[in-house]
Amino acid sequence: MRYEIKRFRCDNGRGEHDNMTFRLILAAHCTTYEPRHPYIHHKNGVAERMIRTITEMAWAMMIDSQAPIQFWGEAVNAAVYLHQRSPNGSLEINDRDGYKAPYETPYEMVHGFGKPMHNADVNKISYQASLHNLGRFRCYPSRLIPEVQRHQGKLGPRSSPA
Amino acid sequence: MKQVTATAALATTGDCDPFGLTASPLAAATAPMLVIASGMSHHMCNDRTSFSKFKKQSLPIVIELEDNNSVAATHYGFVDVIQGYQVEALHSPTFRLSCLSINQLDLGGHTTIFQDRKCSMTSPSSCTLARKLINGIYIIVPTTILLSLTTENGKRRQRDSSPTTELTIEPTIESTIESLGAPIAAKSKFTRKALTISESRFWHRRLAHMNPTAMKSPVKGYTNDDSMCTVCIQAKHKQKFIKVPVKRTTKPFELVHSDVCGPFSTLSLGDNRHHILFIDDYTRYTSVWLLPNTKAKTCNSANQSFQARVD
């Protein structure tokens, strides 16, 4: 994406971020380290709120798909993928002089920043990712048929939907 | 100085004057209850309202107590011992009793005689004070509110023999006013005078450290004390939430927020318990990595892969 991280803000996590290796990684990329005060979680409010947003999206998909709980990692990954490609209300903060920001989603904002403004009517340039590959988050359980029960021999189906 | 522990309770007996303490109603408005003490170097008074000509010390005087604590006296002024007779005294609101120092009386030319369970003081201007020994303490009570002093076991203790004399101070609200000279001038059962600050503090502690603003309803004549109660601060301390609006950045990845979420009770398919989020402040572009633990090594590898994605 050819960006540089200027500042890195996190809570004062002992062990996670507060170690020399992490400082060296940040220093190698010329990033300023900004830990918030310990035990004051609202100082890290953006991250805490985003955790709630992602978790709510993931849990909605988990309940909808009736997937077992060990699939939470997949649900969280899918929620972040969808959040990048969803319109975000907070991006309209960048209004200047009544001019509305042209980007609606984080994805097109990251990929289209500094490039020619897209205009849906004239240029037809859009940095928004294609959403045609999206499918429903769901779970296909299937049952393996033992070899002796396969009526059509080797050419028959090996499993049946549960 | 003697360590005086004072606990307060409502007195049930009403109008009688068990110790023969009579008080002048004229002096009652300003003069405090004074205990005659031999170990004090200065006169002390705890009641701000008793003072006339209240002034601030240029340097606060540090008073060292017998229990190795120390108290700072920041103000001084003049206090009425009886009506028309004043002494210079230090002000310390943390003292539970006001004390009259014999050393200072001696330096001021007074003659103090303890005799026949009475203490009589003669000043240079031939003003004589005489007080009885009441349960181990010589006391001058010119207030309207009657204070009956009893030792803990009901026995009399000599004040010089026991270093810690325990007192129970029971202010009776329905007090008797007996003017000097006249036998019984008025029985003001239902008129409530303004309480002194020390008595108001007793009520504050008695009512489980009630809010001073709310105290005015149950306790008639409650005078609000400006100094904070330390117990109240310790028990009711609350963090003040200050919401400071933060400016959003203007370029992608100028500021990145991060937090670790977890642990979750169920392992994911890759045996992970946590996940770490990276949020760009400008675009809200979010990235997630699943982590098996929150050790430094795993977090750093997630950070490095995020850096690689940004670069």
Residue A113 CA: distances (Å) to CA of A2, A88, A101, B252, B305: 11, 16, 11, 8, 22
A residues 122-161 lying closer than 8 A (beta carbon) to B: none
User: Residues B294, B300, B303, B304: is their CA dihedral positive or negative?
Assistant: negative
B240, B254, B258: which to substitute to probe chain A, counting the most A Cβ within 10 Å?
B258
Average pLDDT, chain A: 84
Instruction: State yes or no: pLDDT of B46 exceeds 90.
Output: no
pLDDT digits (tens, 9 = 90+) for B228-254: 788 888 888 888 888 888 788 888 899
| Global pTM exceeds 0.90 | no
CB of A30 within 8 Å of a chain B CB? The answer is no
- Pairing outcome for strands B166-171 and B147-151: antiparallel
Please choose, from the candidates B48, B111, B97, B106, the residue with its C-alpha nearest in 3D space to the C-alpha of residue B77: B48
**Burial bucket for residue B28 (CB in 10 Å: 0-12, 13-18, 19+):** middle
pLDDT, position B90: 83
pLDDT digits (tens, 9 = 90+) for B83-137: 667 778 888 777 777 777 877 777 777 777 777 777 777 766 655 566 666 666 6
For residue B287, the chain A residue with the least C-alpha distance is A80
Please choose, from the candidates B100, B144, B141, the residue with its C-alpha nearest in 3D space to the C-alpha of residue B123: B100
Instruction: State yes or no: pLDDT of B17 exceeds 60.
Output: no
pLDDT, position B288: 95
Residue B268: list chain A partners with CB under 8 A.
Answer: 70-74
B residues 193-252 lying closer than 8 A (beta carbon) to A: 241, 248, 250-252
Average pLDDT, chain B: 70
Instruction: State yes or no: pLDDT of A93 exceeds 60.
Output: no
pLDDT digits (tens, 9 = 90+) for A2-24: 899 999 998 887 778 888 888 89
Which range among B84-98, B153-167, B265-279 has the greatest average pLDDT? B265-279
Residue B245: list chain A partners with CB under 8 A.
Answer: none
On the CB side of B87, CA atoms within 13 Å amount to: 27
CA-based nearest distance A40→chain B, Å: 10
Confidence class for position B289, pLDDT limits 50, 70, 90: very high
Instruction: State yes or no: pLDDT of A121 exceeds 60.
Output: no
CA-based nearest distance A151→chain B, Å: 33
pLDDT, position B272: 94
pLDDT, position B225: 73
Q: Is residue B82 a contact partner of residue B142, using CB atoms and an 8 Å limit?
A: yes
pLDDT, position B162: 40
Instruction: State yes or no: pLDDT of A70 exceeds 50.
Output: yes
Q: Residue B271 has what DSSP assignment?
A: S
For residue B239, the chain A residue with the least C-alpha distance is A40
pLDDT, position B84: 67
CB of B305 within 8 Å of a chain A CB? The answer is no
- Distance CA(B198)–CA(B150), nearest Å, equals 18
Instruction: Report which of residues B203 and B178 the model is more confident about.
Output: B203
For residue A16, the chain B residue with the least C-alpha distance is B296
pLDDT, position A125: 64
pLDDT, position B16: 38
Instruction: State yes or no: pLDDT of A95 exceeds 50.
Output: no
Indicate the range of A31-40, B77-86, B158-167, B189-198 predicted with least confidence. Answer: B158-167
Please choose, from the candidates B250, B249, B299, the residue with its C-alpha nearest in 3D space to the C-alpha of residue B278: B299
Q: Is residue B237 a contact partner of residue B259, using CB atoms and an 8 Å limit?
A: no
Determine what percent of chain B falls in helix, strand and coil, rounding each to the nearest 5. 15, 35, 50
pLDDT, position A15: 75
Q: Is residue B209 a contact partner of residue B235, using CB atoms and an 8 Å limit?
A: yes
Residue B177 CA: distances (Å) to CA of A29, A118, B40, B82, B147: 84, 92, 31, 16, 12
Q: Is residue B75 a contact partner of residue B91, using CB atoms and an 8 Å limit?
A: yes
Tell me if A16 and B267 make a contact (CB, 8 A cut-off).
no
CB of A13 within 8 Å of a chain B CB? The answer is yes
Helix (H, G, I), strand (E, B) or coil at B166: strand
Residue B274 CA: distances (Å) to CA of A63, A148, B88, B207, B302: 20, 43, 71, 49, 12
Tell me if B277 and A47 make a contact (CB, 8 A cut-off).
yes
Two tokens, residue B52: 């006339």
Tell me if B286 and A80 make a contact (CB, 8 A cut-off).
yes
- B99-137 as b/e: b if 16+ CB within 10 A: bbbbebbeeeebebeeeeeebebbbeeeeebebebbbbb
pLDDT, position B106: 79
Residue B258: list chain A partners with CB under 8 A.
Answer: 8-10, 17, 47
- Distance CA(B302)–CA(B277), nearest Å, equals 10
ipTM, interface predicted TM-score of the complex: 0.82
CA-based nearest distance A77→chain B, Å: 7
Confidence class for position B153, pLDDT limits 50, 70, 90: very low
Confidence class for position B276, pLDDT limits 50, 70, 90: very high
CB of B111 within 8 Å of a chain A CB? The answer is no
Confidence class for position A75, pLDDT limits 50, 70, 90: very high
Confidence class for position B4, pLDDT limits 50, 70, 90: very low
- Distance CA(B273)–CA(A154), nearest Å, equals 41
Please choose, from the candidates B31, B145, B140, the residue with its C-alpha nearest in 3D space to the C-alpha of residue B89: B31
CB of A80 within 8 Å of a chain B CB? The answer is yes
How many CB pairs below 8 A link A and B? 143
Tell me if B280 and A13 make a contact (CB, 8 A cut-off).
no
Confidence class for position A162, pLDDT limits 50, 70, 90: confident
Tell me if A72 and B266 make a contact (CB, 8 A cut-off).
yes
Q: What order do you get walking across the sheet with B286-291 strand by strand?
A: A32-35, A7-10, B255-261, B274-280, B286-291
Tell me if B268 and A55 make a contact (CB, 8 A cut-off).
no
- Distance CA(A17)–CA(A9), nearest Å, equals 10
Determine what percent of chain A falls in helix, strand and coil, rounding each to the nearest 5. 45, 10, 50
What average pLDDT does this structure show over B209-227? Answer: 82
pLDDT, position B204: 87
CB of A55 within 8 Å of a chain B CB? The answer is yes
Q: What are phi and psi of A78, to 5 degrees?
A: -65, -35
- Distance CA(B47)–CA(B196), nearest Å, equals 7
